[in-house]
Structure 1
Amino acid sequence: MPEVGDLVTAQLVVAPYDETTSAALSVTAPDGTVSTPVATSTDGGQTWTAPLTYTAAGIWLLRWTVTGTGASVETETVGVAPAPATMADVRSYATTTQLANFLRAAPPLDAVQLLERATRLLDSDFLKAAVYDEDDEGMPTDPVVAAAFAEAVCSQVEFWGEVGVETDVSGPLQGVAIGSVNLQFGAGDTRSSPDYYAPGISRALSSVPADKLRWVAFADGFGW
């Protein structure tokens, strides 16, 4: 599958064909804009090519219109993927280098997306009631806290590699054991096992001294 930024050569083979055959290409981008790359033939009208750059992710429509001998209209839809994300594109508590060192193996090819997802999970399900020093972007400034958060998200990515990325939280997180704090999952009949989270998350967070990472209670009772 092509990606954003790819320069490709669109091609059409016409049969039958002769010196009267001519082909034109119309390209509709995902946003609806239409362009007409210049199509040429070097073999007397049988094979037509046109340069095309995919500038956006989504579905592209290529429409060839042939006149003369072999007259026809040929359409093709092409799905274009976004350019691969880099660490500069996402918010993550760990880098792919840290993940590789944690796994002691090459990280998965979708490591950037997994680290971003694990970071969102840590933020939403574990750190809502956490207090720690952070910069303007909400990233921890204390190296001990930063290392613990990195270990936590790497643990979750490793966990997904074992149980599948589809595994996710099925109920609200009431808590998990972090040091002396005992947190619960779900409520009443909805209570679920903490198997949706990597055990390494709580171990990593509980390793941080209380003066660097502490927990507060919310007014509605959700907190630690």
Structure 2
Amino acid sequence: MGRVYATPEQLTAWSGKPAPPDADRLLARASEDVDDALATALYDTDPAGMPTDPTVVAALADAVCAQVEYQLAAGVDGTGADDRWESVSLGPLSMSGRRTGTQAPGSVDLAPRAYRALTRSGIRLGVIW
């Protein structure tokens, strides 16, 4: 398992709602999304790859919680399967089929609040020095 930046307790505190029963899985997937968004970011880490600066630690936890909130609000589970199909109905006419994809392969649908949590901390996303 990869790095997980937030706990179910942090998710509960952040959202003001009890963490869902599958919170550990959701937090792990959201942490992967945040990791993908941080592919070019620079910040200090320990040997396990966890951030060491308290501001960055808090920002990553907030970003992961925001990502879970975003996915729950959108009714998605973090697998990406929901982006693959579309369905259209108009009266008696019904059509469905595979989407061609609106995002580049491997790109992350990062929640706006997650992005803001990261940038407020000073982490610069998408910047290579």
TM-score normalised to the size of structure 1? 0.43
Aligned counterpart, 1:94: 6
Aligned counterpart, 1:150: 61
Report deviation, 1:164. 1.6
- One-letter amino acid matched to 2:69: E
Q: Tell me: CA distance 1:173–1:153, structure 2 relative to 1, closer, same or farther (3 Å).
A: farther
Q: Tell me: CA distance 1:115–1:105, structure 2 relative to 1, closer, same or farther (3 Å).
A: same
- One-letter amino acid matched to 1:136: P
In structure 1, stretches of 5+ residues that fail to align are 1-88, 175-184, 186-193, 218-223
Report the Cα distance in structure 1 between the residues aligned to 2:116 and 2:124, rounded to whole angstroms. Answer: 15
Q: 1:29-62, CA deviations, whole angstroms, 9 ceiling, x for partnerless residues?
A: xxxxxxxxxxxxxxxxxxxxxxxxxxxxxxxxxx
Report the Cα distance in structure 1 between the residues aligned to 2:104 and 2:53, rounded to whole angstroms. Answer: 29
* RMSD over equivalenced CA pairs, Å: 2.6
Higher strand share: 1
Percent identity (aligned): 42
Is the counterpart of residue 121 in structure 1 residue 33 in structure 2?
yes
Is the counterpart of residue 208 in structure 1 residue 121 in structure 2?
yes
Report the Cα distance in structure 1 between the residues aligned to 2:77 and 2:67, rounded to whole angstroms. Answer: 13
In structure 2, stretches of 5+ residues that fail to align are 84-100
Higher relative contact order (CA 8 A, sep 6+): 2
Aligned counterpart, 1:164: 75
Query: Which secondary structure state, in structure 2, belongs to the residue aligned with residue 114 of structure 1?
Result: helix
Aligned counterpart, 1:104: 16
TM-score normalised to the size of structure 2? 0.72
Query: Which secondary structure state, in structure 1, belongs to the residue aligned with residue 19 of structure 2?
Result: coil
Q: Tell me: CA distance 1:173–1:98, structure 2 relative to 1, closer, same or farther (3 Å).
A: farther
Report deviation, 1:173. 7.6
Q: Size of the alignment, in residue pairs?
A: 107
Aligned counterpart, 2:98: none
Aligned counterpart, 1:136: 47
- The structure having more radius of gyration, on CA atoms, is 1
Asked if the contact 2:8/2:19 (under 8 Å) is kept, the reply is yes
Report the Cα distance in structure 2 between the residues aligned to 1:161 and 1:155, rounded to whole angstroms. Answer: 10
Report deviation, 1:153. 0.5
